[in-house]
Structure 1
Amino acid sequence: MDLLAESVQTIKGIGPKKAKLLAQLGIYTLGDALYLFPRDYEKYGSVTSIASMQRNQKVSLCVKFQGKPQIIRKGKNKSILRWQAKDNTGTVVCVWFNQPYRANQYKEDISYYVYGKAVMGYGQIQIQNPQVEEYRPEIHNKERWDPIYPLVEGLTQSDLRNLIKETLKILEDNIIDDLPIIVRQKFALCEKKYAINNIHFPMHDKALEWSRRRLVFEELFFMQMALYAIKENLGASKKGLRFSWSNKELENFIKKLPFPLTGAQKRVTKEILDDLKKDVPMNRLVYGDVGSGKTVVAVIALYVAFLAGYQGVMMAPTEILARQHYKTLKELLDGLKINISLLIGGIGNKEKEQIKAKISKGEIDIVIATHAVLQEDVEFNKLGLVITDEQHRFGVRQRATILQKGKINPHMLVMSATPIPRTLALIFYGDLDISLIDELPPGRKPVKTYHVPSSMRQRVYGFIRKQAELGYQTYLVCPLIEESEKIPVQSAVELYDSLKDGALFDLRLGLIHGKMKGEEKDEIMSEFQEGEIDVLISTTVIEVGVNVANANLMVIENAERFGLAQLHQLRGRVGRSDSQAYCVLIADVKNRIARERMNIMVKTNNGFEIAHKDLELRGPGEFLGVKQHGLPEFKIANLIRDMDILKEVQAAAQWIMKLDDTMEKQRILDKAYTKIFSNLGEIVFN
């Protein structure tokens, strides 16, 4: 019998009403309760004397109440209750606000444990709104930590604490230690039973520290090993395609590129080419800051696939970006007799079927596509290379799905412009090898960024006009497509209508947003790229990858409504030539987080600095889009706070992968995969 799966209603005092409230916290079973970890702790010191109290400090006392309490009424529902208490060193006044019922709760001849903050009031030290319990020396004569759990209306901390205490009693012999004993011993980790008990009710501060380290380590370790399991299944354990090609043709192609490769691009290109020469499938992430030149590295890889006689596919998260990649590849591969096709949702069904037929016959060499390529009826003749662009839009599951499009395991290259620390990249892309482009093309000037309030909007429009007179173009980005009654922010349609007949009436304006048909968006972007539009009013549909060198001004309306990563991506649309580019953030900031976002954007263009700040402000779960990655959310680990443990985990995972005992290694990989992905849906391997 699996007690972990038993309903919480098996615990005395938990009826249907309370069970419904617990369900709001995700607690349905005893196992759920066991893994509802405290978000904080109330630390109680051991009992001290009244004489040793210091003001503005939390104190723990053993006292008896004296005489009758004094209640002062202030209006209908307001009151102050004052009650003198004493120990053998002196007296102190306990004060409660709006809690008159306490006058009937305590007796003069009983010793009570009183905990609260000592403050000055009416010329004497008082303890305001103290917690009071009947004194028990075996509990109160030592330090203790009471867990503080997340709550919903209708539940109290006492409810949760009692639930967890009862759960721990029932499950005492059912807490299985999943972590391999060789890992526990090598990294000096406590047993799981000890950790679970002490994460909820710590015996002392060291017990809490050891328990938290153990549980964080386990959570991160199994995540890392599960990703390694995918890597093993999709990579080294499978037969891949060994590419061979003419180095002379490749060298000639690279020489004819319109710009020289940076040192970082050369290094990463070599890492990719080395992978393509092996008979195991490449599974590599290439990431770097906005504008670091990832696309040209992808083009080189696609050209090598063509030279080796294989088809290549490049995925993009949006139709606009897919169309831009198509245009870029057509230009860079012009004259090389390579058949390139665009496969996106916006093209007609007849044309789509014709493209699919050509793909299956091997008549198309390179396919640029959106998610449509993941459909079951797209069959490749000789798929050798898969590239997914803007990785954070594609999860673990989608990576596995696309890899099944090849009859033999194709090579996979993942491109991301999310500049996260390498340590975090290893946990979120643990199924991939990692390459970092950490250098920007020479000659580019940093984008100058300004934060202005909405009251300066007309001056911003004047600056847009000045840039147009100098021959430059502007992006004007809004958070919404259409006006909303609920949200008082600028919408793209509303702004376009007001500007074309108002402040920018004599400039050529364009409007683009996600609800437009593909052909409409394509036409507008083409006009903007050809310089036929001075100001492109847009939603975040232009957030990633769009490249118009003559656009050197980015204006973002209601910038406080965007996250830092999004603001940085939007700013990355300008500054793609050697002329000075500008970004103007129009925002009326009303809170600390919004202000800090604006400040960091003005201060730096460095994507890694911005990503670090974004991680601080939003937390790793939201920043990295854990669910988008197809990974479960962490219950206890925090990837910012637990960076040191994460490094230990990665050392442990690498050590396991090098074990001579292949059966033990495989057992750990299988356990990790089942543990992490069993509740998220199957990832099917070839």
Structure 2
Amino acid sequence: MDYNDSIDKIKGVGEKTKKAFERIGIETVQDLLEHYPRGYEEFTMPIPISQVREGEMATIEASLTMSPRLKRVRHLQILNVRVRDNSGSLLITWFNMPFLMKKLGMGSRYLFRGKVKRGSSGLVMEQPQIYYNKNDYFKLLKVLRPIYPLTEGITNNLIIKSMEQVHNNLEFAKDYIPRKICKEYSLMDRTKALKEIHFPKDKTSMQKARERLAFDEFFLYSLAIRRMRVTKSDQLTDYPMEERLECEELIKTLPYRLTKAQLSAWDEIKKDMTSNFAMNRLIQGDVGSGKTILAVLALLMAVKNGYQACIMVPTEVLAKQHYKSIYDLLSNFGVSVGLLTGSMTAKEKREAYELIKEHKLDIIVGTHALIQEKVVYDKLGLVITDEQHRFGVKQREELMTKGKKPHVLVMSATPIPRTLAIILYGDLDISIINQLPARRLPIKNCVVNTSYRPNAYRFIEKQVALGRQAYVICPMVEENEQIEAENVIDYTQQLKEALSPDICVEYLHGKMKPKEKNDIMERFAEGEIQVLVSTTVVEVGVNVPNATVMMVENSERFGLAQLHQLRGRVGRGEHQSYCIFVCGSESKVAKERLEILNKSNDGFYIAEEDLKLRGPGDLFGVRQSGDLDFKIGNIYTDAAILKLAAEAAKSLSDEEVDKIFRENPYLEDKILYQRSSTL
């Protein structure tokens, strides 16, 4: 078996399963090996029923005190049984598993393993696994069983069995890190690391394996950044510019005054663009700090110097919003603005290509469509990428090559500590906007448990009655038996029943077709939808100033940076805004993390505090969406590894770096870090 073999070379993977694997980005054997666990299940000794605790996974040994009873509630078949041991009794419930009635007998003892919840009549264990033979269970004690990200048609057992086949038929793994680096940094052998991450002997081995694989990702990323820096270093620009009075006129016509931080960043941008060298600058500003107006000023300056300019954003909804706002701001300055997105018809795209080629459009706003081969620019003097963390190194590079050494401005609202930002954006100069506009009212926050929901619903109703709108965020699209969390589809129905029938409630998630998503967001932006139940697809730059409530369910399941991004969707207008973080966990650590958000609206402070609180020991904690999308590394919890990998990449000569890419041509594809879910 070879790394490049198709996934259907594995026994048991047919055409249907192959397509299911492809939905989660697994097409080859190597893709499968790099589909890392999101956590591990650890089996422990059974405990007495009297010791089980709400919210915890437990194993009990007990016998039935009553025959199983089956009842139907709507589309569910609910099987209930009460079990007992010497210390007490417990209710057990299964959903849609009626066949268990014939497998469970009075008088027999079984091992039950599952999550314990609080029901209306006390503690209940839901959907537990049953072990009919004690020995089968005791073989699993102290074993770390991997738990993988799944999709419909792919089970955890299927991935484990497929992974076992691969490991049994592969002798060694590709390793692109030079031996001297592995030795100097005491890295585990990559072949061993890939085995230990999937089938660890113990926690220590798993942690060492994870450190090695995270190092690999950060090392490769650092090499890619280094190559970009080398190719751009001291590049004389083909697009010399002069300061333009139109930019100062635009600033004077704004209905607000720019902050000192904005003016400082604008001075740096002007200095870059009027020098003889190509600008390569990152504007890093907190949510709502006013980065977009700086982009508009840079666009205007480029256009008034006779050049084209473009701005690339990650979603069509955001592209349309930017297009409208840029058009409105610059329409009085004789600037033509165009839009280019993937969902446009073939005819619309052809017309756009022609206008771009002939320079009949000065500014082009778009998504990834901007970097397609068919797009030919005329004197592309400035390229801007917004929400930088959503684009890979390669994508940013591809947009740059559309012009001849153009000026480059990238923007990010992800609050990354400066020490890490210097590594992650090592090819860029950094400007930080650390002030919010004076007109912005601070968002009022609260952290509550699930019992607060009825109060939250009444509060949302009051805000809607005042003419406002609300977001409700759920971590999942639809129900999943393996993960206990609120899902968008069921929650929307629940909310429709809980709120006044006069309130329009709709849902939004990443699996919807682009046209459907755009329609929902446009209706929400126009105020036709009062409450939007959504996954995190709304975190990227959606601007609805009338939205004043952000309610996040299962907030403990999100990284703080992502929660801060979500919170930034409200507080964008003149009205007081509120954020309600609903915590579904009794964990002390989860509550401590959320209290950081409760006390501060400063994204940079939040990032620093989150890093201190979580530390390097949180191996498989909640990932920070909004990070650069590494498969296993986490720029917050693995900050120390990131720094070491960057140091290692820096220590190599140019010849050594060239040799790595020459001997491992597949790395060119790996540096295209794309997010796994398209928004």
TM superposition score category, shorter chain reference? 0.5 to 0.7
- Residue of structure 2 in register with 1:495 after alignment: 491
Tell me which of 495, 502, 507 is aligned to 1:511. 507
| Aligned positions of 1:326-345 closer than 5 A | 326-345=323-342
- Residue of structure 1 in register with 2:435 after alignment: 439
- Residue of structure 2 in register with 1:259 after alignment: 256
| Aligned positions of 1:172-187 closer than 5 A | none
| Aligned positions of 1:250-399 closer than 5 A | 250-399=247-396
Q: 1:621 to 1:437 in 2, by over 3 A?
A: farther
- 1:371 counterpart letter in structure 2: H
Q: 1:194 to 1:487 in 2, by over 3 A?
A: closer
- 2:280 counterpart letter in structure 1: N
Compute the displacement of 1:457 (Å): 1.3
- Residue of structure 1 in register with 2:225 after alignment: 227
The superposition leaves residues 170-215 of structure 1 with CA deviations (integer Å, 9 ceiling, x where unpaired) of xxxxx98858xxxxxxxxxx99499999xx9xxxxxxxxxxxxxxx
Contact kept, 8 Å, 1:298 with 1:387, in 2: the verdict is yes
Tell me which of 460, 465, 470 is aligned to 1:464. 460
- Residue of structure 2 in register with 1:589 after alignment: 585
- Residue of structure 1 in register with 2:565 after alignment: 569
Q: 1:485 to 1:349 in 2, by over 3 A?
A: farther
| Aligned positions of 1:89-238 closer than 5 A | 192=184, 227-233=225-231, 235-236=232-233, 238=235
Contact kept, 8 Å, 1:223 with 1:672, in 2: the verdict is no
Q: 1:481 to 1:679 in 2, by over 3 A?
A: closer
Establish whether residue 415 from structure 1 lines up as the match of residue 411 from structure 2.
yes
Contact kept, 8 Å, 2:239 with 2:406, in 1: the verdict is no
The superposition leaves residues 439-458 of structure 1 with CA deviations (integer Å, 9 ceiling, x where unpaired) of 11113232111122222211
Tell me which of 413, 421, 424 is aligned to 1:425. 421
Compute the displacement of 1:475 (Å): 1.4
SS of residue in 2 equivalent to 1:385: strand
CA distance in structure 2 between the partners assigned to 1:334 and 1:384 by the alignment: 20
Contact kept, 8 Å, 1:226 with 1:672, in 2: the verdict is no
Structure 2 residue ranges without an equivalent (≥5): 1-28, 34-143, 147-171, 193-213, 673-679
- Residue of structure 1 in register with 2:598 after alignment: 602
- Residue of structure 2 in register with 1:679 after alignment: 667
Contact kept, 8 Å, 2:552 with 2:581, in 1: the verdict is yes
Tell me which of 463, 467, 470 is aligned to 1:474. 470
CA distance in structure 2 between the partners assigned to 1:596 and 1:436 by the alignment: 28
CA distance in structure 2 between the partners assigned to 1:196 and 1:337 by the alignment: 60
- 2:244 counterpart letter in structure 1: N
Q: 1:346 to 1:636 in 2, by over 3 A?
A: closer
CA distance in structure 1 between the partners assigned to 2:620 and 2:262 by the alignment: 28
SS of residue in 1 equivalent to 2:333: coil
Compute the displacement of 1:571 (Å): 0.5
SS of residue in 1 equivalent to 2:347: helix
Compute the displacement of 1:643 (Å): 9.0
CA distance in structure 2 between the partners assigned to 1:447 and 1:551 by the alignment: 12
Contact kept, 8 Å, 2:559 with 2:624, in 1: the verdict is no
Q: 1:151 to 1:524 in 2, by over 3 A?
A: closer
The superposition leaves residues 97-136 of structure 1 with CA deviations (integer Å, 9 ceiling, x where unpaired) of xxxxxxxxxxxxxxxxxxxxxxxxxxxxxxxxxxxxxxxx
Compute the displacement of 1:242 (Å): 3.3
The superposition leaves residues 563-613 of structure 1 with CA deviations (integer Å, 9 ceiling, x where unpaired) of 222211111111123432111122321434433332222222121122234
SS of residue in 2 equivalent to 1:335: helix
- Residue of structure 1 in register with 2:240 after alignment: 243
Contact kept, 8 Å, 1:346 with 1:517, in 2: the verdict is no
Contact kept, 8 Å, 1:315 with 1:387, in 2: the verdict is yes
How much identity, in percent, do the aligned residues show?
A: 43
- 2:225 counterpart letter in structure 1: L
Contact kept, 8 Å, 1:627 with 1:633, in 2: the verdict is no
Compute the displacement of 1:460 (Å): 0.8
Q: 1:564 to 1:328 in 2, by over 3 A?
A: same
Establish whether residue 540 from structure 1 lines up as the match of residue 536 from structure 2.
yes
The superposition leaves residues 224-245 of structure 1 with CA deviations (integer Å, 9 ceiling, x where unpaired) of 5763332120x23544233324
SS of residue in 2 equivalent to 1:526: helix
Q: 1:384 to 1:539 in 2, by over 3 A?
A: same
Q: 1:484 to 1:565 in 2, by over 3 A?
A: same
Tell me which of 523, 528, 537 is aligned to 2:524. 528
Bigger Rg over Cα: 1
SS of residue in 2 equivalent to 1:497: helix
Contact kept, 8 Å, 2:471 with 2:533, in 1: the verdict is yes
Establish whether residue 403 from structure 1 lines up as the match of residue 400 from structure 2.
yes
Q: 1:594 to 1:579 in 2, by over 3 A?
A: same
Compute the displacement of 1:426 (Å): 1.2
CA distance in structure 2 between the partners assigned to 1:681 and 1:530 by the alignment: 41
CA distance in structure 2 between the partners assigned to 1:331 and 1:379 by the alignment: 26
CA distance in structure 2 between the partners assigned to 1:510 and 1:518 by the alignment: 16
Tell me which of 554, 560, 563 is aligned to 1:558. 554
666-675 or 338-347, which moves further after superposition? Answer: 666-675
CA distance in structure 1 between the partners assigned to 2:462 and 2:636 by the alignment: 50
Compute the displacement of 1:667 (Å): 4.8
SS of residue in 1 equivalent to 2:593: helix
- Residue of structure 2 in register with 1:144 after alignment: none
Compute the displacement of 1:348 (Å): 1.8
| Aligned positions of 1:21-60 closer than 5 A | none
SS of residue in 1 equivalent to 2:378: coil
Q: 1:353 to 1:400 in 2, by over 3 A?
A: same
TM normalised by structure 2 equals: 0.62
CA distance in structure 1 between the partners assigned to 2:407 and 2:400 by the alignment: 8
Q: 1:278 to 1:245 in 2, by over 3 A?
A: closer
CA distance in structure 2 between the partners assigned to 1:542 and 1:635 by the alignment: 22
CA distance in structure 1 between the partners assigned to 2:526 and 2:188 by the alignment: 63
SS of residue in 2 equivalent to 1:244: coil
Structure 1 residue ranges without an equivalent (≥5): 1-27, 33-149, 153-166, 168-174, 180-189, 201-215, 657-663
CA distance in structure 2 between the partners assigned to 1:646 and 1:453 by the alignment: 40
- 1:531 counterpart letter in structure 2: G
SS of residue in 2 equivalent to 1:568: helix
SS of residue in 1 equivalent to 2:331: coil
CA distance in structure 1 between the partners assigned to 2:434 and 2:187 by the alignment: 40
Q: 1:625 to 1:508 in 2, by over 3 A?
A: closer
Contact kept, 8 Å, 1:513 with 1:539, in 2: the verdict is yes
Contact kept, 8 Å, 2:561 with 2:626, in 1: the verdict is no
Contact kept, 8 Å, 2:450 with 2:582, in 1: the verdict is yes
CA distance in structure 1 between the partners assigned to 2:224 and 2:314 by the alignment: 26
Compute the displacement of 1:428 (Å): 1.0
CA distance in structure 1 between the partners assigned to 2:226 and 2:307 by the alignment: 27
Q: 1:270 to 1:639 in 2, by over 3 A?
A: farther
- 1:227 counterpart letter in structure 2: I
